[in-house]
Amino acid sequence: MPTTWPGSEDVQWVNKMVELRARNIETPQDVEAWYSKSKLDLSSLLQQQSIPKGFVKLPWNSSEEHRLSDKWEWKHIKHQGYVWGNKLPDSVAARQPFCEWEVVIGLIAQCVASSRAVMGVL
């Protein structure tokens, strides 16, 4: 899905934020509040943002090579002559990139905390 990166491009940033938020969910009432509301929020968010299309075989386009960094190992893809992926339809590509990281962090944190509560860790 088209997205903007959070303020830090560290891959672990979102996980750290989820963990911190999950620690704020401490009581059975917090878990019940999550169960009755947030699972619907997460489902709604995923339906709005996901693009349920499979990848297709796209022919290699040499005119795009200038976009690829030498840090990436892509020459074997050029050699095979295709890449697996998909292109967004114009209607999807025109959407604003996803940037609501606080929403995602809060929803996943509630899932983490409620799972811990179910396991008796909370």
Please check the confidence at residue 42 and state whether its pLDDT lies above 50.
yes
Structure tokens, 40: 């619907």
Residue 51 confidence (pLDDT): 47
Rounded CA-CA distance 48/29 in Å is 28
Question: What is the phi-psi region of residue 98: left when phi exceeds 0, alpha when psi lies from -120 to 50, beta otherwise?
Answer: beta
3-class SS string, the chain = CCECCCCCCCCCHHHHHHHHHHHCCCCHHHHHHHHHHHHHHHHHHHHHHCCCCCCEEEECCHHHHHHCCCCCCCHHHHHHCEEEECCCCHHHHCCCCECCHHHHHHHHHHHHHHHHHHCCCC
Write down the domain spans for the chain. Answer: 1-51+96-122, 52-87
- pTM (predicted TM-score): 0.37
Q: Is the pLDDT of residue 88 over 80?
A: no
Highest mean pLDDT (candidates 57-61, 66-70, 86-90): 57-61
